[in-house]
């Protein structure tokens, strides 16, 4: 291959990478007491009031600029009084849940990849694409100061690595951050977080690829601190004692899927990446979404024996691969969403297809009994019925979207791979890249 | 065969010391770029019997299995060890302490490796406690060391990175100090030295403002034999001394957080 050809190919590669990078998955989050449910797609937030069974109107005018690019992270505070959304437009918006009024818009220097609200509702933490976690003190300022505040102070840093997930421990003592360099860091959340979080409790090391999601398994019945769960690009879900950083158990989802006869669905190119985790049933059940599996996988989590084991795979028809999952505290329902914004081939005038599905029967789930207890609700039976679907999906006419969901799944796979997996170059490509390095180009121009 | 290859071949056949001219490398390496060298998943995965065969005569596994907490662990880390001058001097001073150099530049770490092997051959029984790994310690320190494992860390003549935009490449920074505090035992000491005044001020102020570090008092520094090595033992230090340059030290102790 001539040098020119290589250069051209590199440029093509980069073009594809750029396109893929803009695709962003739909997200779902539910109020801890199931009072409301939120879906984020692109720059749009869709919220439905499950108590009053009516759409929620967001009041954004008082809180600075609105989201203008893909939302990458949404969450409710543990008490359900606050909600936060953040993403590629480098804005973090904090909403009061009772009025759905935006009370604060914080601007970040870099794109925001994850956001989390401290349990006491006093602080919001955000992680940026350069590996720095920032903290915002919600008490520090009134509502009507400058529209865009830059008041976030640095809390901790993963050295130049994309942070993929950010969570507070159930007791609120620790903040946990996961990155694409296979690391999970447990940091003591200090009393005065504006001065930084300097005390590292542990590192949870064991994933052999990027870490994509975190969740805590704990029982509300006892006072133990619970355990940490993580999923990643190595297609495993791992259970950790996060105080010591020791790995308690590993469940290899990729091989389990292959054993279960779903080989056709699990492609060879390592696509059983774990994309989300959701802990249900008082910490004993973990639902897992996997990039190549149409449905969800359930794992049993035994908090006493400290083990994690495969329970069952629940297939869902209609090309449904959840991009995000949510459940309330000890709820009977598992909410799932599938969708993506920024699809390269999509018509900008047409809305991105979003599909919401709910699995019911979590409370009665028992690993010994057959699947019957669990059911995938029909659209009419979903809480809030068709009204909620109308709001969250943006449309009820989803049949025709099923084909485009296949497309969505593919685009998401590419986007995630481009974002989180280190690119490998052949020797010749690397040489050409070195020659076309930016700093050299600049020098030439100066001369 | 390349020149470098020839040199390595020579080293294998005799205890000739490697020569720096065969290991020319760029003066700097970008710590931010993606790494394409192998990285251990966790500290327990690193096989140190290759590094310290004298201390692990029965290999790694047997040692781990018989591990009753007495097995030797690395206690000193020289971050950005360069050509390894400090390690070689420290090896004599603390013959029973395992220490490791970490260097990002491939060729330089290769040189240090050959240098240590040559030293071991020429004076059998010595220099068995030092070794080197090629890694980016700014990214992967927790992959090599467990919590509170180290007693001393060295940062000698690090890259100054003058431009403000490049300050995040500095090896001493508020966020990285959190990780260094994690790897250091309580009472462990961090040694920094530079010939660049601006960087000296930066490192001192980072350490001074960090709640987990406290300056080591002057009288203790005078009694510490390691301090004397900082400016004299390394190649960079000797260069500064030749040019009669000034050096700036900041030596701090890991302390526990007060409530």
What domains does chain A contain, in order, with CATH numbers?
1-50+323-447 (no CATH), 64-205 (2.130.10.10)
Q: What's the Cα-to-Cα distance from A58 to each of A66, A97, A103, A340, B158, rounded to whole Å?
A: 11, 10, 11, 22, 51
Sheet holding A200-205, edge to edge: A163-168, A174-179, A183-188, A200-205
Name the DSSP class of A323: S
Tell whether B139 is within 8 A of chain A (Cβ).
yes
Cβ–Cβ of A161/B34 closer than 8 Å? no
Tell whether B166 is within 8 A of chain A (Cβ).
no
- DSSP per position, chain B: --HHHHHHHHHHHS-PPP-GGGG---S---TTSPP-S---SSGGG--TTTT-TTT-TTHHHHHHHT-SS-S--EEEEEET-TT-HHHHHHHHH-TTSEEEEEES-HHHHHHHHHHHHHHHHHSTTSSTTEEEEE--HHHHHHHH--TT-EEEEEEES-----SGGGGGG-SS-HHHHHHHHHHEEEEEEEEEEES-HHHHHHHHHHHHH-TTEEEPPHHHHHH-HHHHHHHHTSHHHHHHHHTT---EEEEEEE-PPP-
Q: Which residues of B touch A187 (CB under 8 A)?
A: 178
Residue of B168, B178, B210 lying closest to A200 (CB–CB):
B178
Which pLDDT band, with edges at 50, 70 and 90, does B65 fall under? very low
Nearest CA in chain A to B30: A160
- DSSP per position, A195-254: G----EEEEEE--SS-EEEEEEE--SSS----EEEEEETTSEEEEEETTTTEEEEEEEHH
Q: Is the dihedral of CA A263, A266, A268, A270 positive or negative?
A: negative
Neighbours of A212 (CB within 10 A): 23
Sheet holding A71-76, edge to edge: A71-76, A82-87, A91-96, A101-107
Read off the pLDDT of each residue in A390-413 and give the average, rounded to a whole number.
Answer: 81
- Test the B interface: residue of A184, A201, A205 with most B CBs within 10 Å: A205
Residue of B32, B175, B212 lying closest to A156 (CB–CB):
B175
The answer to which of A303-307, A437-441, B88-92 has the lowest mean pLDDT is: A437-441
In this structure, are residues A396 and A379 in contact, taking their beta carbons and an 8 Å threshold? yes
What domains does chain B contain, in order, with CATH numbers?
73-254 (3.40.50.150)
pLDDT of residue B224: 94
Nearest CA in chain A to B143: A205
Tell whether B175 is within 8 A of chain A (Cβ).
yes
Q: Which residues of B are catalytic?
A: 159
What is the average pLDDT score of chain A? 85
Q: How far is it, in rounded angstroms, from Cα A402 to Cα A371?
A: 25
pLDDT of residue A446: 47
CA distance A173 to chain B (A): 15
Cβ–Cβ of B175/A160 closer than 8 Å? no
Best mean pLDDT range from A74-88, A142-156, A379-393, B68-82: A74-88
Is residue B119 annotated as involved in ligand binding?
no
Structure tokens at A162: 């994309």
Read off the pLDDT of each residue in A393-415 and give the average, rounded to a whole number.
Answer: 80
Interface of A with B (CB under 8 A): 130, 132, 154, 156-157, 159-161, 181-183, 185, 187, 195-200, 202-203, 205-208, 245, 422-424
pLDDT for residue A199 is more than 90: yes
Cβ–Cβ of B175/A157 closer than 8 Å? yes
pLDDT of residue A34: 93
Nearest CA in chain A to B42: A205
Is residue B103 annotated as involved in ligand binding?
yes
The H or E element containing residue A135 is strand A132-137
The half-sphere exposure of A339 on its side-chain side, counting CA atoms within 13 A, is 27
- pLDDT (tens digit, 9 = 90+) per residue, A248-288? 999 999 888 876 655 444 444 556 899 999 998 788 899 99
CA distance B237 to chain A (A): 28
Complex-level ipTM:
0.88
Neighbours of B193 (CB within 10 A): 25
Read off the pLDDT of each residue in B31-47 and give the average, rounded to a whole number.
Answer: 86
Read off the pLDDT of each residue in A103-124 and give the average, rounded to a whole number.
Answer: 93
- pLDDT (tens digit, 9 = 90+) per residue, A334-356? 999 999 988 876 666 677 889 99
Cβ–Cβ of A195/B211 closer than 8 Å? yes
Tell whether B212 is within 8 A of chain A (Cβ).
yes
The half-sphere exposure of A145 on its side-chain side, counting CA atoms within 13 A, is 12
Residue of B36, B143, B174 lying closest to A205 (CB–CB):
B143
pLDDT of residue B67: 47
Tell whether B257 is within 8 A of chain A (Cβ).
yes
- Test the A interface: residue of B42, B149, B167, B173 with most A CBs within 10 Å: B42
- pLDDT (tens digit, 9 = 90+) per residue, A8-42? 666 666 665 555 558 899 999 999 999 999 999 99
């Amino acid at each position: 291959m001539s040098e020119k050809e290589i250069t051209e190919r590199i440029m093509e590669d980069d073009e594809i990478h750029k396109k893929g990078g803009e695709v962003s998955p739909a997200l779902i989050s539910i109020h801890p007491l199931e009072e409301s449910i939120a879906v984020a797609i692109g720059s749009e937030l869709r919220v439905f009031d499950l108590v009053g069974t009516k759409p929620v109107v967001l009041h954004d005018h008082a809180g600075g600029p609105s989201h203008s690019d893909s939302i990458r992270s949404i969450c409710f505070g543990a008490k359900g009084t606050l909600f936060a959304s953040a993403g590629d437009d480098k804005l973090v918006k904090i909403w009061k849940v009772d009025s759905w009024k935006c009370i604060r818009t914080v601007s970040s220097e870099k794109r925001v990849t994850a956001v989390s609200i401290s349990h006491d509702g006093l602080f919001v933490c955000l992680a940026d694409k350069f590996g720095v976690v920032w903290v915002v003190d919600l008490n520090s300022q009134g509502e009507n100061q400058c529209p865009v505040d830059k008041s976030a102070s640095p809390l901790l840093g993963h050295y130049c690595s994309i942070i993929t997930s950010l969570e507070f421990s159930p007791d609120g003592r620790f903040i946990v951050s996961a990155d694409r360099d296979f690391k999970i860091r447990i940091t003591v959340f200090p009393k005065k977080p504006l001065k930084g979080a300097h005390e590292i409790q542990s590192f949870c090391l064991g994933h052999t690829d990027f870490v994509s999601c975190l969740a805590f398994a704990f029982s509300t019945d006892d006072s133990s601190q619970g355990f940490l769960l993580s999923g990643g690009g190595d297609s495993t879900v791992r259970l950790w004692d996060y105080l010591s950083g020791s790995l308690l158990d590993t469940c290899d989802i990729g091989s389990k899927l292959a054993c279960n006869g779903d080989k056709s669905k699990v492609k060879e190119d390592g696509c059983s990446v774990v994309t989300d985790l959701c802990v249900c049933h008082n910490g004993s059940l973990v639902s897992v979404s996997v990039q190549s599996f149409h449905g969800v996988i359930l794992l049993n989590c035994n908090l006493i024996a400290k083990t994690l084991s495969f329970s069952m795979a629940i297939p869902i028809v209609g090309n449904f691969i959840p991009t995000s999952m949510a459940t309330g505290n000890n709820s009977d329902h598992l909410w799932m969403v599938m969708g993506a914004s920024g699809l390269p081939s999509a018509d900008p005038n047409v809305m991105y297809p979003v599909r919401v599905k709910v699995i019911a029967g979590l409370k009665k789930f028992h690993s010994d009994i057959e699947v019957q207890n669990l059911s995938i609700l029909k659209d009419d039976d979903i809480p809030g019925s068709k009204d909620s679907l109308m709001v969250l999906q943006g449309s009820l006419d989803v049949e025709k979207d099923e084909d485009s969901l296949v497309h969505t799944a593919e685009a998401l796979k590419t986007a995630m791979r481009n974002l989180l997996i280190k690119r490998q170059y052949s020797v010749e490509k690397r040489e050409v890249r070195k020659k076309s390095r930016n700093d050299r180009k600049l020098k030439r121009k100066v001369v | 065969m390349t020149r470098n290859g020839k040199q390595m071949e020579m080293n294998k056949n005799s205890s000739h010391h490697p020569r720096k001219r065969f290991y020319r490398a760029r003066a700097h390496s970008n710590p931010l770029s993606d790494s394409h060298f192998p990285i251990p998943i966790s500290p327990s995965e690193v096989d140190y019997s290759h590094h310290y065969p004298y201390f692990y005569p029965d290999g790694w596994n047997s040692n781990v299995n018989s591990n009753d907490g007495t097995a030797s662990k690395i206690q000193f880390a020289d971050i950005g060890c360069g050509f390894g001058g400090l390690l070689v001097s420290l090896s004599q001073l603390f013959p029973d302490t395992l220490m490791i150099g970490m260097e990002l530049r491939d060729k330089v770490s290769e040189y240090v490796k050959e240098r240590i092997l040559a030293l071991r051959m020429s004076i059998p029984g010595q220099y068995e406690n030092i070794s080197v790994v090629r890694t980016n310690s700014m990214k992967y320190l927790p992959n090599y060391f467990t919590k509170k494992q180290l007693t001393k860390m060295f940062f000698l003549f690090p890259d100054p990175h003058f431009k403000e935009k490049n300050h995040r490449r500095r090896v001493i920074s508020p966020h990285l100090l959190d990780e260094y505090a994690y790897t250091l035992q309580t009472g462990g000491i961090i040694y920094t030295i530079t010939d660049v005044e601006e960087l000296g001020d930066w490192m001192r102020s980072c350490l001074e403002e960090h709640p987990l570090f406290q300056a080591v008092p002057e009288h203790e520094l005078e009694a510490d034999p390691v301090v004397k090595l900082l400016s004299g033992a390394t190649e960079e230090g000797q260069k500064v001394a030749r040019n009669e340059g000034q050096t700036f030290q900041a030596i701090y102790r890991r302390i526990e957080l007060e409530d």
